[in-house]
Amino acid sequence: MPSVVYLQAENSVLGREVSRKDAKSQRTAEKTKRANEMTKRLVLLPLLIALLVAGAISLSPPKRDLRVHTLESKIFNNTRKIRVLLPPGYEKKRRKEGYAVLYLNDGQNLFDEADSIFNKAEWKVDETVYELIAKSKIPPVIVVGIDNAGKKMRANEYLPWEDEFLSPPMPDPKGALYPEFLEKEVIPFVESRYSVSRMRGGRALGGSSYGALIALYSALEKPELFGSLLLESPSFYVSDAKVLTMAETAEKLPLKVYLGVGTNEMGAKECDDDSDGGEAVTDLRRLESILKRKGLSQGSLKVVVEKCAVHHEDAWAKRLPEALKFLFPANSSN
């Protein structure tokens, strides 16, 4: 019969063996667990990388789609560039009914400061339009920049009447032909190549300075062409503000009008916040009054008078987002 001492020794040995087996089993389980976790990570890593790449792609701004054409004009007997900014995904999402379209004068000054013919500045149209579309502030729209005829001949096409203050003078300008130029050459050129709205309500026309003057003149002469206007720092003063007299007697007005101006259009070095803005603001307010009196509702008219803003592309670029959101609201069907 084994002695007590022997049994105690044997039990001690057996206990150590059990402990060693338990420890070994625990280590094996831990190794298996770590191996399984590593396998999961290896499986998930490609998916995570794919998600990160997709996120980076979705966050990066779309590449601008700006197409430049040459238009030969028989009306003005010259050539110019037509710059067409298409919304992101245009080729995949062409609409049968056409995109709303904004025609803007002085096309050189809209998209690239390197092309600007006066100041080395631009309206930042492409950046602004793409950002507003991405944020669902406006629907996808097409913008058409119509180049002017160059520094020397710009006034010839944008003045329906002589500007007695212009130096050097342009005694016999041909701006009265501009509405016909838009109707018979520019609009057909664009509509034959792009999916743009052919309805009055889907077309807008705009510009700044002389470009705003000729935009208003064209809309009054050919009211069936454009439903909306974007007029920045307009030169309404020309020929004793004759274009405002036209507006007063017009039988048909645009459906929506945006008007923008600064109180320091002349660019004085010092600007008083209390300044009334002089003739530029007075003429703009006069048009506002005419439009209201002739029935344009407050929801169809937006007027922005910016304190101390000057006659410059930077000012028009700054005000552009609000103008676009007004003319092309996010809930628009166009």
Average pLDDT per consecutive 10 residues, the chain (334 residues; last block may be shorter):
47 50 61 62 57 52 91 98 96 81 98 94 98 97 98 97 96 97 98 96 98 98 98 98 98 96 95 89 98 93 97 98 97 64
Are 174 and 114 contained in the same domain? yes
- Cβ atoms within 10 Å, residue 105: 27
**pLDDT attached to residue 55:** 52
**Residue listed under structure tokens 């030969």:** 72
**Which of 41, 60, 79 is the C-terminal boundary of a domain?**
60
Residue 262: which of 248, 251, 252, 273 has the closest Cα?
273
Cα torsion 247, 307, 320, 70 to 10°: value is 70
Q: What is the pTM of this model?
A: 0.82
Are 138 and 251 contained in the same domain? yes
Are 269 and 150 contained in the same domain? yes
Are 153 and 110 contained in the same domain? yes
Residue pLDDT, tens place only, 181-195: 999 999 999 999 999
Residue 333 lies in a domain: no
Residue 266: which of 206, 308, 211 has the closest Cα?
308
- Residue range(s) defining the domain that contains residue 170: 65-327
Residue 112: which of 317, 311, 265 has the closest Cα?
317
**pLDDT attached to residue 275:** 85
